[in-house]
Structure 1
Amino acid sequence: MTLQLIDSHCHLDRIDLQKEKIEFDQLFDNAAANQVSHMLCVAISMDQFPTMVATAEHRENVFFSCGVHPCHVGEDKNYALSDLRKLADAPRVVAVGETGLDYYYSKDSIKEQQASFVHHIEVGRQLGKPVIVHTRDARTDTIDILKANKANECRGVLHCFTESWDMAKAAMDLDFYISISGIVTFKNAVELQDVVRKMPLDRLLIETDSPYLAPVPYRGKQNQPAYVRHVAEFIAKLKNVPIEEVASVTTNNFKQLFSTTNL
């Protein structure tokens, strides 16, 4: 079986190429060498979105999202939240977000985060595109908002998941996927590893969240899409299945969620 992996969440425009002493194209060469065929480059603000797209739009194996990260709500100067639908309607944009709630870093903007989250879900439903959800220290509110705003109609993913099995089940009940990052390889990620063991493969995605959260053996260094292979290998060991199965199922999950059947 030919191995094909997809990095379902990365920030290519935020990778410090000078620090790595490489050219942008080398990221893709490294990815290809590790059987990573495609990647989803995720926006954290609408001001940043056009530059992010310009960075990688010449690459046919890169998809994009458009949205405002909860820690960046209210920071955009060139766009208003009302511009989200127009920007997210672009053909290469396959998802809305990342959006969600972060009560760990941004406790002073909870109401603004919640309003933005609701708007992203509305746009996702209008466009028929899934939402990418960031959640930290906001388990109950995240699920409650997804339920109240019928997020099951557009579906989506809880990205870089570090929460409980109960939250994972609640999200899956809403037809959401769970995306696992390099955190799962950390020695102290015991709860997350247990969640992954319990998770059905057909609800899992894999990601790097580059340039953050590099997996073992690169922990503490800058992350890149090539390293999603280490996430897949670790999950395969946790679930006692071949990496080929993890690769095949998570790639198919990506296609199903983001309607990218031309991979």
Structure 2
Amino acid sequence: MIVDTHCHLADRKFRDDVEAVIARATDAGVAQIISVGAIGPIDCDRLTVEIAERHENVYAVVGVHPHDARDCTPERIAQLRDLASSKKVVAIGESGLDFHYMHSPVAAQESSLRAHLALAVELDLPIVIHCREAERRLVEIVRESGLPPRGGVIHCFTGDSNAAREFLALGFHISFSGIITFKNSAPIREAATIVPDDRVMVETDSPYLAPEPYRGQRNEPAYVTRTLEMLASLRRTDSTALRAKIIANAARVFNLPPAS
């Protein structure tokens, strides 16, 4: 068994066959799925929660993506607060900073991140963080605000070993996606070897970033096993042992029931 700790089941690319996607994941040994809304309007978060409530092994995360941070108004935070009343919502996010695409101004991204950190504290939930080319500023803001007591996850890690060490020092868990299967991912692969066993996670970020040999195709939660295999190889450990550690880490951070 394994857990896909980050995907987007409400994405339009899954709209026609999300039930089949979930079934294929189960057949592949994916015991639990963490589905993240956050992309686009609040409707994406609502659908994410609806999907989670229909499936015992699917859980939801709600938030505003850094790309859409300009839309993170107090009213939007209030809507997220209401959605988080569902027992299937296990975290707030993905929030964070993206200085690569810059779809929202820096000030808006930073304000949104602070609002998400505060909401996670208020609701006693962990936070899921997106960070791209903004590691230094993200560390500064989390140091100022503090990591929520329930902790947090740097999802789809794209930094180097130095960035990983800084995130670990703050108390974050670090999740690796199919990017580690790409040949040009040497710095990320190196970082994957230094994260302690009790802080490492694995994800698909599907429908994006399909691992080899599926690169360029639509990604699915079922493909998380490919990333797990690469992660185990990089860490020179048995994949079965790594699966157990990741399941335990996800259960602890997201307060999940025992996987079955």
Common topology (TM > 0.5):
yes
Separation in 2 of the partners of 1:17 and 1:89?
Answer: 25
| Structure 1: segments with no counterpart, 5+ residues | none
Q: Work out whether residues 70 and 100 of structure 1, in 8 Å CA contact, stay in contact via their aligned partners in 2.
A: yes
Q: Work out whether residues 15 and 211 of structure 1, in 8 Å CA contact, stay in contact via their aligned partners in 2.
A: no
Is 1:27–2:25 an aligned residue pair?
Answer: no
Distance apart, 1:17 and its partner CA: 4.5
Which of 113, 132, 137 is 2:133 aligned to?
137
Distance apart, 1:107 and its partner CA: 6.1
Distance 1:218 1:149, change over 3 A: same
Is 1:10–2:7 an aligned residue pair?
Answer: yes
Q: Work out whether residues 96 and 129 of structure 1, in 8 Å CA contact, stay in contact via their aligned partners in 2.
A: yes
1:209 aligns to what?
A: 205
Is 1:227–2:236 an aligned residue pair?
Answer: no
Q: Work out whether residues 139 and 167 of structure 1, in 8 Å CA contact, stay in contact via their aligned partners in 2.
A: yes
Distance apart, 1:46 and its partner CA: 2.8
Separation in 2 of the partners of 1:142 and 1:260?
Answer: 27
1:195-253, Cα deviation, whole Å (9 max, x unpaired): 11222221111000000000001000000000000010001111111110111000100
Q: Work out whether residues 81 and 116 of structure 1, in 8 Å CA contact, stay in contact via their aligned partners in 2.
A: no
Separation in 1 of the partners of 2:92 and 2:99?
Answer: 21
Which of 216, 240, 249 is 1:244 aligned to?
240
Q: What count of residue pairs does the alignment treat as equivalent?
A: 257
1:59-112, Cα deviation, whole Å (9 max, x unpaired): 110000110000012347995234333322321110000000011111651101
Q: TM-score, normalized by length of structure 1?
A: 0.92
Q: Secondary structure at the match of 1:114?
A: helix
1:161-213, Cα deviation, whole Å (9 max, x unpaired): 01021221111122210000000000000001111122222111100000000
Is 1:191–2:167 an aligned residue pair?
Answer: no
Is 1:105–2:101 an aligned residue pair?
Answer: yes
Separation in 2 of the partners of 1:202 and 1:88?
Answer: 26
- Percent same amino acid among aligned pairs? 33
Is 1:42–2:39 an aligned residue pair?
Answer: no
2:47 aligns to what?
A: 51
Instruction: Return 109-118 or 7-16, whichever deviates more.
Output: 7-16
Which of 150, 162, 166 is 1:166 aligned to?
162
Which of 53, 68, 73 is 2:69 aligned to?
73
Separation in 2 of the partners of 1:50 and 1:132?
Answer: 17
Separation in 2 of the partners of 1:154 and 1:144?
Answer: 19
Q: TM-score, normalized by length of structure 2?
A: 0.93
Q: Work out whether residues 154 and 172 of structure 2, in 8 Å CA contact, stay in contact via their aligned partners in 1.
A: yes
Cα RMSD, aligned residues only? 1.9
Distance 1:125 1:144, change over 3 A: same
The one-letter amino acid of 2:42's match is M
Separation in 2 of the partners of 1:152 and 1:51?
Answer: 26
Which of 119, 123, 126 is 2:119 aligned to?
123
Instruction: Return 244-253 or 149-158, whichever deviates more.
Output: 149-158
